Amino acid sequence: AQRVTQPEKLLSVFKGAPVELKCNYSYSGSPELFWYVQYSRQRLQLLLRHISRESIKGFTADLNKGETSFHLKKPFAQEEDSAMYYCALTGGGNKLTFGTGTQLKVEL
Amino acid sequence: GAVVSQHPSWVICKSGTSVKIECRSLDFQATTMFWYRQFPKQSLMLMATSNEGSKATYEQGVEKDKFLINHASLTLSTLTVTSAHPEDSSFYICSALGPGSETQYFGPGTRLLVL
């Protein structure tokens, strides 16, 4: 069975501070990992996916197969980064398994 | 591009009635759509995968006779909650696979309250 764990329900940081949202997964094969973001009163949208190896809005995430992690990082948090972040994976198909989400709050 | 809409955005109904929720891909054709439900402060849970022109595939524990899914066209999937009860009150979200991609585009969700 595939599983995604986000240990923090809420992460509060100051503007300009580094951010790391943790995500660990459990899957026996080769998963594809995603980060989705939901801003206040908006729909869920894709932030980034591990196979793209890109940086979106200053965020990056590296798949660590040894630690089965896909932590989301940003060196300097901005106020507009405040949102709900979901880590998700698929295991060869298109069905997404989501983590429980982490609410990021960037304080001034 | 790749916009998904849902209708209605919220609905209140009496226990025992049926409610239909529509999911539309507005500017692309989606052979596959997904239906999720989300309880307060919890994650999205996949209910079923909706394939155009064929029967939906339901996740374990989801009653197919309770949650009827129809994907009659490449731009529309509907979820009907039959004989709704208060425990069916939830936030229902659909997504559609983008054209030629593995990216899911999400609708804004439908909040259902069953009294």
pLDDT at B23: 96
> pLDDT tens digit string along B39-52?
887 889 999 999 88
Interface of A with B in 42-101 (CB under 8 A): 42-46, 49, 86, 90, 94-101
Q: Are A43 and B108 in contact, with CB atoms under 8 Å apart?
A: yes
**% residues pLDDT > 70 (chain B):** 98
- In A, minimum Cα distance to B109 occurs at A43
Element (H, E) at B23: strand B19-25
> pLDDT tens digit string along A10-33?
999 999 999 999 999 999 888 899
pLDDT at A11: 97
Phi, psi of B10 (to 5 degrees): -155, 150
Give me chain B's average pLDDT, please. Answer: 92
Choose the mutation target among A6, A35, A44 for the interface with B, i.e. most B CBs under 10 Å: A44
With tokens 């026996």, the residue in question is A28
pLDDT at B94: 97
Strand B19-25, strand B10-13: pairing = unpaired
pLDDT at B40: 82
With tokens 């923090």, the residue in question is A8
pLDDT class of A104 with cuts at 50, 70, 90: very high
State mean pLDDT over B2-11: 94
Phi, psi of B86 (to 5 degrees): -50, -35
Between chain A and chain B, the number of residue pairs with CB atoms below 8 A apart is 40
Distance (Å, rounded) from C-alpha B26 to C-alpha B7? Answer: 12
DSSP state for residue B98 in the 8-state scheme: P
pLDDT class of B103 with cuts at 50, 70, 90: confident
Give the SS3 label for residue A12: strand
Element (H, E) at A8: none
Nearest by CB: B106 against A44, A94, A100: A44
Task: Flag whether pLDDT at A70 surpasses 90.
Answer: yes
Q: Are A63 and A71 in contact, with CB atoms under 8 Å apart?
A: no
Distance (Å, rounded) from C-alpha B68 to C-alpha B56? Answer: 9
